[in-house]
Structure 1
Amino acid sequence: MNNSIGLYIHIPFCKSKCPYCDFFSGRASENDYDSYIKALSDNIKIWGKKTDKAVSTVYFGGGTPSILGAERLYYLLSLIKDFFNIADDAEITVEVNPDSGKTLDFDLLKLSGFNRISVGMQSAVEQELKALGRIHSINDAEVTIKRAQNAGIENISLDLMLGIPYQTIDSLKKSIDFCANCGVTHISSYILKIENGTVFEKIQDKLELPDEDRQVQLYLFAVDYLKKLGFEQYEISNFSKVGYESRHNINYWKCGEYIGIGPSAHSFFDGKRFYYSRNMEDFIENKTYFDCYGGDKEEFIMLSLRLKSGLNFKEYRERYNEDFPKDKIKNIKKFAVMGYMELNDDCAYFTPKGYLVSNAIISELI
C-alpha cells in the first residue's frame, strides 16, 4: 500500500458568505489574515516534526485561499516544504475564487510550486450565479483561467453545481460548454444540498429549485455530455481528462492517510481520525478531537464505491487478509440486476443511475 500522505490546509476566509455554504469561513481583515497565518505557521511546524512520510499531495481549501494573495500563499507553501517531506512530483492545489483570481499573481504561484488550481465557478449563467449569491461574473472566471494558463498552470479544475435555482438542461449545457471551451482538465459537479444553518435553508420554500426528478435528469445529462466532451467520470461528482484526476481526493477515497491543518479540518493519521473544531482558539492551541479509528472494512467499502473504479476485491483481500464476503456479493448482484451496479470478477462499482441512490445501497452493503 502507498505509504505517502496528503496534506490539507484550511483557509477560513471569504469576501462574502454564499447563502448555500456551511463550511467554516467568514469575512476578515488583512490583519486577521496575518494573525491566522502566524497560527497556521506554528501548527505546520508542529505537524511537520511528527512525520517523515512523503507528502504526495498538498491542497489549500476554504473558504477562499486566493483571498490571501500570492505572496502569503508562496510563504505558506515554502514553509510546508521546509517542514514536510514533499514528493518531487507532488500535486499541489489551491482553490481560487474568480473574483480574487482575476488579479492573482499566478506567475508567483507557479514559481512557488503550485501546479493545480480549482476554480469555484459554479455556473456559467449569470442568472444562476446571482441566485447562488456569487460575487464574480462569467468574465472573471474566464480571465482567471486564462491568466493561470498563461502562467504555465495547465491542470485546472472548475466547480459546477447541479440542481440550482433556475437551472435547465439547456443552461447546464451552456455551463459545461464554457468549461470545455476554456480548455480545463477537470470538472467537479455537485448536486446542491440544502445544509442546516444556511441562508438557503431559511428561504428554501422561495427558491426556484428543480424537483428530485429534474435533479436526476440534470445529473445524468451532465455525466453523458461530459463524457462526449472527453471528461471521464472517475467519482460520483468528479470528471477529468485522462491523467488529470485529483490525486488528493483519490487518496481520501482509497482510505489513504492525510493531515488537515486549520479550524474544522479533519485528519486520518496513524490509524486515527481526528479533527479541529470550528473554533479559532482551539486551532491556535493546536487542540484536536478524536473521532474514531479509521480504515476498517466498512469504511473501505463505502469510500471505494465513491470511485468509478469501484470496490476492488484483490485490494480488499490484501488489506484485510480475507476474501470479500459472499453475502455481500449476493447483495451486489441484486443491485446489478436493477441497473444500479456493475459486477465482475475483479470489482463492483456503481452505474451513473446507481450513484444517485448510492447512500441507501451502501448502507445495505455494510
Structure 2
Amino acid sequence: MAKDRFLLIKAWSYVLWGDIDHVLGHLLIAEITDRIPVVYWPTHCLNNGFVQTNGFELYFEPINSYSIFDLTHPQYTYYPPIWDSDNLLVDDNTKDTWTFRNVGDILGSKANVVVGDVYYNVYELIPFIKKNHAAYGMSVEQVYHYLFNKYIRIKPDINMEIQGFYNSWLKDGHPALAVHVRRVNEELVFDTRDADKFDNQYWNKVYTKVKKESDRIDEKVVKYLKKGKHKEPNKAYHRDIQKLIEKYNIKRIFLLTDCQETLKEYIRIYGSRIVYTDCKRLSADQELTYMENPMVKRRRGIEVVKDACIAAKCDFFIGNDFSHLSHAVTRMKDWPSRNMKLLYWVYRKRKYPINARLVVRKENVFLSFLKRLFGKRVSQEGGYFNAR
C-alpha cells in the first residue's frame, strides 16, 4: 500500500450508527483503491461533546496510526477539489449537492487525499470488488460483516460495561431475544390512499411479486367502498415476540428503546422477562435530539454502542429496518436467517417505517367478496417481512 494515498472518512449523518454504516462503505472503497483509511468525526457530531477530539475514537479503537493531521501536507493533492491542506478540518455544507462525489470519480481519483463525506451503500460498491479481494463473491450482508469484524473495535471501558451487563442479566437467561423499538414519530404519518402525489424519502419499492388488484371491478366502485383506516406504529412487534416465546421458550427479552412509554408497555406485557440498560430515554413530547450538557454526550454515545453490542449477544433479534442501530446489530455477527428479522410496513409494494402511522384504504366486506369471487389476490396492507 502506497504511503501517500489516503482516504479521509469524515462524518456523514452525525448519528453514531449511521456514521459507522458510512465508515464501513468507505473502508471498502479504501481497500478497493489501495488507500490508507483515516476516520475523523468532528466536534459538532451528535455524540462528540469534547473540543478538538476525534469523535470516532471516543468509542472505537483507531483504524491505524494515522490521523487527519498527517494528511495536511502542503504538497498533497486533494479530491474533491474544494479541499486543500488548510480546510480539511472544516465541514462542507454543500456536500448534499454531491458535486465531485460520483462514486466512479472517487474510485478513480489520482489525488493523494480523497475525502469521503457522503454515503455509499456497500451494494453500490460490490461491482468494483476485484477477484483477488477477500470480499469477492460475498453478499451485501457478508461484506458488511467482514468489514465490521475487521475494523470496528469497541473501546475497553465500554467493553467492560457490555460484558458486565451480559454476565449479570443475560448469561444465564438463554434463549434470549433482543428487541429494538424506536420511539413513535408522530410527525411521520403516511396517507397511502394517494401515495403518488407525495414525495418522501422513506418510500422504497419492495421487490416482491404482488399481483395487481382486479381490473374487472370498476374503479369508481372501489373508491366508493374503501375507507381510510390507521395502522398503529410498532404494534406489529408483539406478534413476532409471542411466536418466538411460544416456539423457543424465550427466557429473557433485552429491550432497546429510546422511549419511556415503550419501556413501560413492554414491562406491563412481558413482566420479568424484560431486561434493559440504565440509559437516557425520552418521553413522547421531548425532542429527539435533546441532550442535557455537551460534556455528557460521550455517555449517551456509550449507551447507544452498549445496547447494540448487548443485543448482538442474544440468540434472536427483532429490529426496525429504518434504523441504523438495528442494522448495526445484524452486522456484528452472522445471524441465522430465522433468528433475525427487521420490520417495516409494506403497502402496494412500498416500504414505510414500522414506527410511523399509516393511513391505508379499508376494504368493504362486499369488495373483499368480489375479489375472492374473481380469484384475484389481495394486495398486501400493512404487512412486514424479513429484510434479509
Structure with more relative contact order (C-alpha pairs < 8 Å, separation 6 or more): 2
Which structure: greater strand fraction? Answer: 1
User: If the length of structure 1 is used for normalisation, what is the TM-score?
Assistant: 0.25
User: If the length of structure 2 is used for normalisation, what is the TM-score?
Assistant: 0.24
Which structure: greater helix fraction? Answer: 1
Q: Which has the larger radius of gyration?
A: 2
